[in-house]
């Protein structure tokens, strides 16, 4: 088990994100994915958290299972929306008891249905970062938004609040984006505010046209015209995947050239695109599973 802060101090990290499965079949499929990706020896993996606590037990169970049963260091995502101080204390105690030391502190998104709104003692991710810092045991990550968070009123405000968060936290992982210049600009803007903590770019390989375009719209990530045109010319899902993997490989290579301290892959609980990108980049691949 390793603290991400220490892994980053030693060198580049390569990491994967999973979400907690909802059904037994999805659980089995994720088990296979984890077994396949474990052979790539990721530096760490992270597990998402349903805002408002909708995956509270499932996130905790997956993170603590990985801590116990695999060789991979897990990081638990945690959001402030819908949580009281008591809730957060309880969740953090469970992680301390299980030996989990890495937490990604997030704002989370407010529920769309007013019936799901629950009282919250926290408003912004930085409130949660304060709590984690006071606990003293955790390596703390936060989210960064290269193309500016959709709720930020300006780029300047976005960067100032992010810098405030990063003065306390240890590192950031970015929202996905498709052009390296967004990442480079983010790092430069943070440097101008005196922040030199590691900013790990988040990578989302296109494996399915409609899904990525929808997610890009939700996250505010601009979809590049040339990639859209290449994808528009193909219909076969295998061709879409191939183009997506090529584009993601190119993006990763540019980010590594630009000095990124690591790469974090949004896997959507599947292994094959990530394994292909790993192979294309010349990173070690041991598994031949599909
Ligand atoms: P914050 O840092 O709280 O920022 C949200 C907005 O508030 C920004 O516009 C910011 O500029 C502004 N702001 C911050 N501080 C202040 C302040 N003091 N005063 C006024 N305005 C302020 N969501 C989930 O629900 N579960 C997950 O597991 C999850 N994982 C994610 C992983 C990564 C790597 C990323 C990038 C995002 C993830 N998200 C997840 C989405 C995230 O919760 C949303 O993007 C959310 O809207 C913002 O989260 P944040 O941590 O950036 O929030």
Give the tens place of pLDDT for each residue, 200-216: 999 999 988 887 777 77
User: Which CATH fold would you assign to the domain 4-281?
Assistant: TIM Barrel (3.20.20)
Length of the chain: 290
Is 288's pLDDT higher than 50?
A: no
Is 39's pLDDT higher than 50?
A: yes
Task: Compute the average pLDDT of residues 102-109.
Answer: 95
Residue nearest to atom 30 of ligand 1 (CA): 48
pLDDT, residue 127, reads 96
Please report which confidence band the pLDDT of residue 283 belongs to, taking 50, 70 and 90 as the band edges. Answer: confident
Residue nearest to atom 39 of ligand 1 (CA): 108
Is 267's pLDDT higher than 80?
A: yes
Q: Is 120 in the pocket of ligand 1 (CB under 6 A)?
A: no
Q: Which tokens go with 95?
A: 């992680």
Q: Which of 6, 17, 57, 131 is catalytic?
A: 17
pLDDT, residue 10, reads 95
240 CA distance to ligand 1 centroid (A)?
Answer: 30
* 17 catalytically annotated: yes
Is 222's pLDDT higher than 70?
A: yes
109 CA distance to ligand 1 centroid (A)?
Answer: 7
Please report which confidence band the pLDDT of residue 89 belongs to, taking 50, 70 and 90 as the band edges. Answer: very high
Q: Is 155 in the pocket of ligand 1 (CB under 6 A)?
A: no
pLDDT, residue 1, reads 65
pLDDT, residue 53, reads 73
Q: Is 38 in the pocket of ligand 1 (CB under 6 A)?
A: no
Whole-number Å distance between alpha carbons of 223 and 205? 12
Core vs surface per residue 129-146: b (16+ CB within 10 A) or e: bebbeebeebbbbbbbbb
Residue 42's alpha-carbon distances to 37, 73, 224, in angstroms, are: 7, 8, 29
Q: Contact at 8 Å (CB) between 273 and 205?
A: yes
What are the φ and ψ backbone dihedral angles of 188, each rounded to 5 degrees? -65, -40
pLDDT, residue 27, reads 93
The shares of helix, strand and coil residues in the chain, as percent rounded to the nearest 5, are: 50, 15, 35
Strand ranges for 87-128 from DSSP E? 102-106
Please report which confidence band the pLDDT of residue 284 belongs to, taking 50, 70 and 90 as the band edges. Answer: low
Q: What is the DSSP letter of 129?
A: H
Q: Is 107 in the pocket of ligand 1 (CB under 6 A)?
A: yes
Is 68's pLDDT higher than 90?
A: yes
Is 223's pLDDT higher than 50?
A: yes
Q: Is 151 in the pocket of ligand 1 (CB under 6 A)?
A: yes
pLDDT, residue 48, reads 96
Task: Compute the average pLDDT of residues 89-109.
Answer: 95
Percentage of the chain modeled with pLDDT above 90: 80
Q: Contact at 8 Å (CB) between 102 and 74?
A: yes
pLDDT, residue 211, reads 75
pLDDT, residue 114, reads 78
CA atoms within 13 A on the CB side of 4: 36
Whole-number Å distance between alpha carbons of 231 and 199? 29
- Counts for the chain of helices (H) and strands (E), in that order: 11, 8
Q: Which tokens go with 272?
A: 């094959």
- How many CB atoms within 10 Å of residue 28? 11
Q: Is 143 in the pocket of ligand 1 (CB under 6 A)?
A: yes
Mean pLDDT across the chain: 92
- Please give the model's pTM, rounded to 2 decimal places: 0.95
Whole-number Å distance between alpha carbons of 275 and 280? 9
Strand partners, 16: 45, 265
Most ligand 1 atoms within 8 A of CB, residue of 112, 120, 124, 164 to mutate = 124
pLDDT, residue 210, reads 82
pLDDT, residue 218, reads 76
Is 139's pLDDT higher than 80?
A: yes
DSSP letters, 230-266, are HHHT--SHHHHHHHHHHHHHHHHHHHHHTT-SEEEEE
Domain boundaries, the chain: 4-281
Q: Is 49 in the pocket of ligand 1 (CB under 6 A)?
A: yes
Most ligand 1 atoms within 8 A of CB, residue of 105, 149, 154 to mutate = 149
pLDDT, residue 289, reads 42
Is 232's pLDDT higher than 50?
A: yes
pLDDT, residue 287, reads 44
Whole-number Å distance between alpha carbons of 4 and 2? 6
Strand partners, 199: 172
């Amino acid at each position: 088990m390793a603290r991400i802060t220490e892994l980053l101090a030693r060198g580049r990290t390569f990491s994967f994100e999973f979400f907690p499965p909802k059904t037994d079949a999805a659980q089995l499929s994720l088990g296979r994915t984890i077994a396949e990706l474990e052979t790539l020896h990721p530096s760490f993996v992270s597990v998402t958290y349903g805002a408002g606590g909708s995956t509270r037990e499932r996130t905790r169970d997956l993170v603590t299972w990985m801590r116990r049963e695999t060789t991979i260091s897990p990081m638990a995502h945690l959001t402030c929306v819908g949580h009281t101080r008591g809730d957060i204390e309880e969740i953090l105690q469970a992680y301390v008891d299980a030996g989990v030391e890495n937490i990604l502190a997030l704002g989370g998104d407010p529920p769309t249905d007013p019936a799901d709104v629950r009282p919250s003692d926290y408003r912004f991710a930085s409130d949660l970062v304060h709590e984690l810092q006071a606990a003293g045991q955790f390596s703390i990550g936060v989210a960064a938004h290269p193309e500016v968070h959709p709720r930020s009123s300006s780029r300047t405000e976005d960067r100032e609040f992010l810098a405030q968060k990063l003065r306390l936290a240890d590192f950031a992982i970015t929202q996905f984006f498709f052009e390296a210049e967004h990442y480079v600009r983010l790092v430069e803007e943070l440097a101008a505010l005196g922040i030199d903590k590691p900013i790990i770019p988040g990578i989302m390989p296109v494996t399915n046209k409609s899904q990525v375009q929808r997610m890009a719209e939700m996250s505010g990530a601009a979809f590049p015209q040339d990639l859209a045109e290449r994808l528009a010319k193909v219909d076969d899902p295998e061709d879409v995947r191939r183009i997506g993997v090529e584009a993601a490989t190119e993006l990763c290579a540019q980010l590594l050239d630009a000095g990124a301290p690591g790469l974090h892959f949004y896997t959507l609980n599947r292994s094959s695109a990530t394994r292909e990108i790993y192979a294309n980049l010349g990173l070690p691949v041991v598994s031949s599973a599909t």
